[in-house]
Amino acid sequence: MSAQIKMYGAEWCGDCRRSKRFLDSNNVSYDYVDVEADPSASDKVIEINGGQRSIPVILFPDGTHLTEPSDNDLKAKLEFLKIL
């Protein structure tokens, strides 16, 4: 499965930086969308989170997403999808 992962985040967000580090250190390819630079991305985050502007939001190829995941939750999801 090609890793069609999309991550919505912002540079000022510590959880976003942590999730990016986790993905990078595990050689997981993903598209990064900066919600500060792209207003429509910010709207998408709010839509996904039912009105909350919580980031990071990480979308997966199976149509699911995680919001503000711990490294353990992110690892478990990637293992479930056989990306890790």
User: Does the pLDDT of residue 10 top 50, yes or no?
Assistant: yes
Structure tokens belonging to residue 7? 């991550």
pLDDT in tens, 33-58: 999 999 999 999 999 999 999 999 99
Rounded Cα distance, 43 and 41, in Å? 5
Of the pLDDT bands very low, low, confident and very high (cuts 50, 70, 90), residue 18 is very high
Bridge partners, residue 31, by sequence: 6
51: left (phi over 0), alpha (psi -120 to 50) or beta: left
Rounded Cα distance, 41 and 47, in Å? 10
Q: Which CATH number characterizes residue 44's domain? A: 3.40.30.10
pTM for this one? 0.93
Q: How many domains does the chain have?
A: 1
What residue numbers bound the domain in which 25 lies? Answer: 5-80
